[in-house]
Structure 1
Amino acid sequence: MGLLLNILTLPYAPVRAVTAIAEVLLEQAEQELYSPQGVRRQLEALDEAVARGELSEDDRHTAEQEILDRVATRSTG
């Protein structure tokens, strides 16, 4: 039965492959977004943008709060 099922569902193999790739990409994105190292890199990037004059202190504070809120929401939700 397994061989017959594989043959019958063969046309859906590309869909399964795309789904598997999307799941890996989602996992990587979430890891970058929520891992302590990823959060630290995001906060450091804000500091660097302020140092280069690309971001005001108020904008930095707002962006920093958004990052911390996102992490807090993830950990409680």
Structure 2
Amino acid sequence: MGLISEVLLLPFAPARGSAWAIRQVLREAERIYYDPATVRAELAQLEQRLEAGEITEEEFDRQEDELLDRLETGMRGGAGTGEGAAP
């Protein structure tokens, strides 16, 4: 039965391959997004923007909370498993 189903599903092979490629790209994007080193660099850049007067204290607090949530998710290892999907 395996051979017959493979032959019958052969026209859908490009779609299955595309879905696999999309999953791989998404997994890598999540890995980078939740990478603790990336988040720490963004936190440092955010602090520089605050010190330069480019953003307000309220905006800093809001963005800092978002980055700290990402950092926590990345440290737990939820990235790339579907648990760490961005809101």
Shorter-chain TM-score: what band? Answer: 0.5 to 0.7
Query: 2:27 and 2:64 mapped to 1: Cα distance?
Result: 23
Give the aligned residue type for 1:39. V
Query: 2:24 and 2:41 mapped to 1: Cα distance?
Result: 21
More helix by share: 1
The count of residues paired between Structure 1 and Structure 2 equals: 77
- What SS does the corresponding residue of 2:41 show, helix, strand or coil? helix
Percentage of matched positions with identical amino acids:
35
Q: What is the Cα deviation at residue 31 of structure 1?
A: 0.9
Query: 1:4 and 1:31 mapped to 2: Cα distance?
Result: 38
**Mind listing any 5+ residue stretches in structure 1 that lack a counterpart?**
none
The within-5 A match list for 1:42-57 is 42-51=42-51, 53-57=53-57
Q: What is the Cα deviation at residue 15 of structure 1?
A: 1.7
Note the aligned Cα RMSD (angstroms).
2.7
Higher normalized contact order (CA 8 Å, seq sep 6+, divided by chain length): 2
After superposing on structure 2, the runs of 4+ consecutive aligned residues of structure 1 that deviate more than 2 Å are: 1-7, 47-54, 69-77
TM-score by length of 2: 0.62
Q: What is the Cα deviation at residue 11 of structure 1?
A: 1.4
